[in-house]
Amino acid sequence: MPATPARESAAIALADLGVLRVRGADAAPFLQGQLSNDMTRLASQGSLLAGYHNPQGRAIAILRLVQAAERDILAVLPRDVLPAVLSRLARFVLRAKVQLSDDSASWRIEGVVQAEAPAPLAIQVADGPARWLALRAANTTASAVGERRAWTLLDIASGLPQVYARTSEAFVAQMLNLDLIDGIAFSKGCYTGQEVIARAHYRGRVKRRMQRWRTVAGASLAPGDSGTLTDGRGFRVVEAAQLADGRCEFLAVTSPDPQGPREPDGEPESAAHGPLAVEPLALPYSLPS
């Protein structure tokens, strides 16, 4: 059986997530030229999902942005990829009036399941049930009681990708379904990787997509693992969580067509798994035909 979902108002410590701070008069314009979403939406919405890509359109990281104050933006992303993102962004600051810093030590991030925002600084990551990333000062009393694995399973059920150090630059944006979860603005101006991402969108050339699966038997999978399904399709894991009975629920990039490409995209970083028997699970959105 799957892990018990996080209950209403349960708080889960997400210590593996960190905070990149972007401050200054040019904070939003600077990020506008770097990220896949339209930063002009941030002020009105309060938070935003965006990808940071290399020139080949491959995702270096996925960021959840929140407007902390005027000219002050916080980006939540995995700690293991944050230093690389900070270093790469710093190369493009040039004369922009912007300051970049790893602000992870100043914040405690919790995942919360409840209808309303749980904190003044909160990012809604899903609805049905409504889930939030709550950013609290590091010196405040911790309230987290839930299990990290339960939050990961909710992310998997919501079809939400994540990029870690092991999968950074492994997938083009659409392979992670960023275009289906409002992580890309195709009407905005140029940003790093935009040409490749736009070409894939307008020409419809996306041969692999992230899909959701559960193993039939016990298995241990982790982001970055690769292998083959029993029908011969190659896959590479985006996110995974082990269930109480030893099986594994996971998101992986592969061809939506059982007769599609045989090989996983990108270079595998671990021993291949398979042939792996799996059952497909539904996503809350439809993949393009």
Mean pLDDT of 44-58: 95
Judge whether 106 and 19 are in contact, CB under 8 Å. yes
Q: Which CATH superfamily is domain 16-105+140-157 in?
A: Aminomethyltransferase beta-barrel domains (3.30.70.1400)
User: 183: alpha, beta or left, given left = phi > 0 and alpha = psi -120 to 50?
Assistant: alpha
Least confident of 2-6, 65-69, 129-133, 233-237: 2-6
Element housing 253 (H / E): strand 248-254
Mean pLDDT of 87-99: 95
Instruction: Enumerate the domain spans of the chain.
Output: 16-105+140-157, 207-282
Nearest to residue 225, comparing CAs of 207, 247, 251, 245? 251
Q: What pLDDT does residue 206 have? A: 86
In this model, does residue 75 exceed pLDDT 90? yes
Dihedral sign, Cα of residue 276, residue 279, residue 284, residue 289: positive
Per-residue pLDDT band at 274 (split at 50, 70, 90): confident
Q: Record the pTM.
A: 0.92
